[in-house]
């Protein structure tokens, strides 16, 4: 009897789709895997460009080691020895724009006592968090803003928590779901009756785990490569077959399998299909199969973000602030034209040529879509004006590169997890169909990498039973 070769179509060649394909090749070597991507390149919003000595990350700037997903992926790709950590200064020195100036965020309870960012009452409310009672029946879902005000007080919510939400999700904290976006915070309150107590318990556990291995606990770090995150994309692309220029329009059941239809007359037969593209694109693909499922997928909103990479002569940047830090966030209540700034040449080496600095100015998000919509020259003008105000730059940028992401970050609004549960239940009724990506259970690179492993395992299990 001839061996059966299962056919698997993966729709989307971003990090999620590439990682699913890579993991699946290891788990099911006989599978015929085809990755379909509408754009002319793979990698999604992960990528690195080199322009005259300026190394620009077009999307994420790096990944954290708080979860093992990306570290494990880099290891399995043979890239572990090329990883480099972010600078120590960028780990310790993070800032917000408040009261008309860039100010350092406190890094300890003592820092909370001395920070000028909070009033005496605001400091008292924040330090009282461990003693604040939680509701008798905690809400199943609530906004990050509501949770933060309840636990830390209004001032801390408006400055620190808003900055966290802006920096990670480019979101509106009044709409963002706490258990969907920050499940650890919800878990800390649930299990320890306090975020601070939960955090301290987590740190103690981390120390015990490190001691059991004969190691010292290490602080959380950001990682990348000297050549940028394009290294991961290139390594995956070398190992994964990708067909670019293919926009999938719909899926059709065909016997016990699937037909994947692209624009025009192209179609591909598959035994299993994995949708990793943006949620609205997934919705379009399944609309004829299950309109209710499609509506839930399409209801997941996205924030659009523009990245303005600005290179300045070091001689035009006064002081040493941007040479030993990560950057700053502008909380929404400051109503600035930028969401935040990453001091790229301070975070990782070789991001700018000698005598220059490279900053990435992030614009748009849920709070300022109007800035995203500006023409490039006007967007750059506003960004430069912000750099004059916040950083005191005295000369024009010597280098400019603008990258726009109309679907940069999915927004996990209150009710998101219930919607995801419905989506997953509906997909389970369509044998051989799988969905994943950053639209569902985590927007970070680590989340995507871990979800890719799980989905590849499910597809491989199905393939082992000849689908």
**7 Cβ contact partners less than 8 Å away, ≥ 6 residues apart:** 31, 32, 34, 257, 268, 269, 270, 271, 272
This prediction's pTM: 0.94
* The predicted structure's pLDDT at residue 293: 98
Domains of the chain are 7-45+230-300+412-464 (3.50.50.60), 118-132+140-212 (1.10.3110.10), 302-410 (3.90.660.20)
Q: How far apart are CA 39 and CA 170, in angstroms?
A: 24
Q: Provide the residue-wise pLDDT of the chain in tens; the chain has 467 residues.
A: 334 689 999 999 999 999 999 999 999 999 999 999 999 999 999 999 999 999 999 999 999 999 999 999 999 999 999 999 999 999 999 999 998 999 999 988 788 889 999 999 999 999 999 998 877 677 889 999 999 999 999 999 999 999 999 999 999 999 999 999 999 999 999 999 999 899 989 889 888 888 888 878 788 899 999 999 999 999 999 999 999 999 999 999 998 899 999 987 789 999 999 999 999 999 999 999 999 999 999 999 999 999 999 999 999 999 888 889 999 999 988 889 999 999 999 999 999 999 999 999 999 999 999 999 999 999 999 999 999 999 999 999 999 999 999 999 999 999 999 999 999 999 999 999 999 999 999 999 999 999 999 999 999 998 776 55
Cα 16 from chain centroid?
A: 12
* The predicted structure's pLDDT at residue 1: 33
* The predicted structure's pLDDT at residue 2: 39
Pairing of strands 222-225, 83-85: antiparallel
**82 Cβ contact partners less than 8 Å away, ≥ 6 residues apart:** 225, 226, 231
Q: How far apart are CA 204 and CA 92, in angstroms?
A: 20
């Amino acid at each position: 009897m001839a061996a059966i070769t299962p056919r698997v179509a993966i729709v989307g060649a971003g990090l999620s789709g590439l990682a699913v394909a890579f993991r699946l090749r290891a788990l099911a070597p006989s599978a015929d895997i085809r990755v379909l991507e509408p754009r002319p390149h793979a990698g999604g919003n992960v990528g690195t460009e080199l322009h005259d000595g300026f190394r620009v990350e077009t999307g994420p700037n790096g990944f954290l080691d708080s979860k093992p997903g990306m570290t494990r992926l880099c290891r399995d790709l043979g890239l572990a020895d090329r990883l480099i950590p972010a600078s120590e200064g960028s780990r310790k020195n993070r800032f917000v724009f408040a009261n008309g100036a860039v100010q350092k965020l406190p890094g300890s309870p003592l820092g909370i006592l001395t920070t000028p960012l909070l009033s005496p009452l605001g400091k008292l409310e924040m330090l009282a968090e461990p003693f604040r009672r939680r509701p008798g029946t905690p809400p199943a879902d609530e906004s990050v803003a509501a949770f933060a005000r309840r636990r830390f007080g209004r001032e801390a919510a408006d400055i620190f928590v808003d900055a966290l939400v802006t920096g990670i999700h480019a979101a509106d904290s009044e709409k963002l779901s706490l258990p969907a976006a920050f499940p650890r915070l919800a878990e800390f309150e649930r299990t320890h009756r306090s975020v601070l107590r939960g955090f301290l318990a987590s740190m103690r556990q981390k120390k015990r785990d490190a001691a059991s291995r004969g190691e010292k606990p290490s602080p959380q770090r950001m990682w990348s490569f000297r050549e940028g995150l394009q290294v991961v994309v290139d390594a995956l692309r070398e190992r994964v077959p990708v067909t670019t220029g293919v926009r999938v329009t719909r899926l059709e059941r065909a016997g016990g399998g699937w037909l994947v239809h692209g624009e025009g007359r192209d179609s591909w037969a598959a035994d299993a299909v994995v949708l990793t593209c943006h949620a609205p694109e997934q919705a379009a693909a399944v609309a004829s199969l299950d309109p209710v499922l499609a509506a839930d997928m399409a209801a997941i909103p996205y924030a659009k973000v523009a990245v303005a990479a600005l290179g300045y002569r070091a001689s035009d940047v006064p002081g040493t602030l941007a040479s030993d830090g990560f950057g700053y966030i502008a909380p929404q209540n400051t109503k600035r034209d930028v969401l935040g700034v990453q001091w790229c040449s301070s975070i990782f080496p070789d991001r700018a040529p000698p005598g220059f600095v490279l900053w990435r100015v992030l614009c748009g998000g849920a709070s300022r879509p109007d800035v995203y919509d500006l023409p490039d020259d006007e967007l750059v003008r506003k960004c430069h004006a912000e750099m004059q105000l916040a950083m005191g730059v005295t000369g024009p940028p010597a280098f400019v590169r603008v990258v726009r992401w109309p679907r940069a970050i999915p927004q996990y609004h209150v009710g998101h997890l219930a919607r995801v549960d419905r989506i997953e239940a509906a997909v389970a009724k369509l044998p051989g169909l799988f969905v994943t990506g950053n639209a569902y259970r985590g927007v970070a690179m680590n989340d995507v990498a871990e979800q890719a492993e799980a989905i590849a395992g499910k597809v491989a299990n199905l393939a082992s039973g000849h689908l």
